[in-house]
Amino acid sequence: LAYIRGETEESPSSLDIGIESQALVSVIMGSDSDLPVMSAACNILKDFQVPFEVTIVSAHRTPHRMAKYAIDAPKRGIRCIIAGAGGAAHLPGMVAAMTPLPVIGVPVKGHILDGVDSLHSIVQMPRGVPVATVAINNSTNAALLAVRILGIFDPQYTIAMEKYQSDMEDGVLVKAEKLES
């Protein structure tokens, strides 16, 4: 089933994940169990009106799909890949090895090792194969970084990012004023 940006105000569920052919950003994850974490990235991309797609690609369970997805992504117009995975989190690194696109890795917190295993798996890439790694479970920052990357060739995203930063600053200042009064 296609997940089309703007089709729903809800976070994507496991029923509406799929491929959006006009997507600039791809959000992939190793399992549907990652979706509660990765849906925050989808919400940010929606807020910034970035065409994106979201789907499941597992480095271990669907290695052939992963290879095809990574190789085809640039040809399909994808500009940046956000990849979330937990545990032995090889998806972001393996995708980065098979595509020239920027890959942003999201370490997903598992039940046993608190996500430190995922963080180390994603951040400890060998020289030559970079993955921009965000904090554990912080897919929000992954999406914000993707928006900044898109802003390099499309100023509308930079302008929107400046507004986001300004709104964030205003929000903190309001809280500070309340605290001080």
Tell me if 33 contacts ligand RP5 by CB under 6 A.
yes
Cα–Cα distance for residue pair 115/121, rounded to 1 Å = 10
Cα–Cα distance for residue pair 164/47, rounded to 1 Å = 10
Tell me if 115 contacts ligand RP5 by CB under 6 A.
no
Tell me if 107 contacts ligand RP5 by CB under 6 A.
no
Q: Which two tokens stand for residue 44?
A: 């940010």
Which of 23, 66, 83, 108 lies at the binding interface for ligand RP5 (CB under 6 A)?
108
Stretch of 11-19, 26-34, 45-53, 62-70 contacting ligand RP5, by CB under 6 A: 26-34
Size of the site for ligand RP5 (CB under 6 A): 10
Q: Which of 107, 124, 96 is nearest to 34 (CA)?
A: 107
Tell me if 62 contacts ligand RP5 by CB under 6 A.
no
Stretch of 29-37, 39-47, 141-149, 162-170 contacting ligand RP5, by CB under 6 A: 29-37
With respect to ligand RP5, which residue has the nearer C-beta, 131 or 160? 131
With respect to ligand RP5, which residue has the nearer C-beta, 70 or 85? 85
Q: What is the dihedral of CA 48, 49, 52, 56, to 10 degrees?
A: 60
Query: Least distance (Å) from ligand RP5 to the CB of residue 175?
Result: 34
Cβ-in-10-Å burial (0-12, 13-18, 19+) of 97 comes to middle
Q: Which of 22, 21, 33 is nearest to 84 (CA)?
A: 33
Which of 42, 78, 81, 85 lies at the binding interface for ligand RP5 (CB under 6 A)?
85
Tell me if 34 contacts ligand RP5 by CB under 6 A.
yes
Tell me if 30 contacts ligand RP5 by CB under 6 A.
yes
Chain residues binding ligand RP5 by CB under 6 A are 29-31, 33-34, 58, 85-87, 108
